[in-house]
Amino acid sequence: MDRHVDAFLEMLAAERGAARNTRVAYATDLADFAAHCRQRGIPTAEAAPALVQSYLGGLSMAGLSARTAARRLSALRQFYRFLVREGVRADDPTELSESPRLPASLPKALTEAEVAALMDAAAALPGGRGALALAVTELLYGSGLRVSELVELPAGALSGEAPMVTVRGKGSKERLVPVSRRARDAVAAARDEAAKPARRAARAARWLFPSRAASGHLTRQAVGVMLKDAAIAAGLDPAKVSPHVLRHSFATHLLGRGADLRSLQMLLGHADIATTQIYTRVMEDHLARVLAEHHPLAPANQADGKQAA
């Protein structure tokens, strides 16, 4: 790999605390651009604005989505700004490149009834998995955690009776989140199940949810599989259930019950409230559907009234 790219990735880890998956994503995007540069015999660090533009244009012609193109441009911007800061080059060749216009992306939340059904099904999963599945579901939905935050909770995270616990989010930023009594009870039951003799080999002192994985803790993939299994058992479409969907459901249901955006921003750990504001679009769409379905002057209801008359 290019030595400048190596230095950039090391900076992400050392200065920004970027997770391994984040660094891998940057490395992949930069490697794709580096291949574009090599085909033209130009070192990546010396790319001109025209070369960046030709690369972005090629992404569109190749049929890649606007979201993918925007992500790769973001990676290039951060890389070249790093090179400018380090004195490797004097200018940023991405400065005049415009990010592709992205379609509005609305979170897809489960209904409250679907979440309740999912939790019941999670608790009933066979083979000793039920206690763990319920615990992770309670934490994801009850506290709005990212799955990466959940699996990396330390063993002592829920010790004591304080209603708030500290989690480490993106960029190693810490925030306080509430954990309900029922979630605490579910976690305690899961840890009791893990402590049984037949499972003792999987125990580890460092993590709240230990496992035999190389990391020593429950993996994000394992959480995803548990949720899919619970969704199937609950009669829900497994494609619509994931840790991220539970986090979206947490936010959507809070906003629907009167929570304010600033509080929601703090609970979710969003650096910019603009990220949180997307949930207002969810509520606007929901209210528009309610009006269309139930108001007596809505076209559909007026037609029903004429038929009844």
The residues carrying an active-site annotation are 146, 170, 244, 247, 270, 279
Rg over alpha carbons for the chain, rounded to the nearest Å, is 24
Q: Which two tokens stand for residue 308?
A: 């009844």
First to last CA, the chain: 76
Q: How buried is 208 (Cβ within 10 angstroms: 0-12 exposed, 13-18 middle, 19+ buried)? A: buried
The DSSP bridge pattern shows strands 174-178 and 164-168 to be antiparallel
Q: Measured between alpha carbons, how far is 18 from 39 in angstroms, rounded to an integer? A: 30
Q: Measured between alpha carbons, how far is 81 from 61 in angstroms, rounded to an integer? A: 27
Q: Which residue intervals of the chain are DSSP H helices?
A: 3-16, 20-39, 49-61, 66-85, 112-123, 130-143, 147-151, 181-194, 220-234, 243-256, 261-268, 273-276, 278-294, 299-308
154 three-class SS = strand
165 three-class SS = strand
72 three-class SS = helix
Q: Measured between alpha carbons, how far is 173 from 17 in angstroms, rounded to an integer? A: 9
Count of all residues that appear for the chain in the document: 309
Q: Measured between alpha carbons, how far is 67 from 223 in angstroms, rounded to an integer? A: 26
CA atoms within 13 A on the CB side of 63: 0
Q: Measured between alpha carbons, how far is 162 from 28 in angstroms, rounded to an integer? A: 42
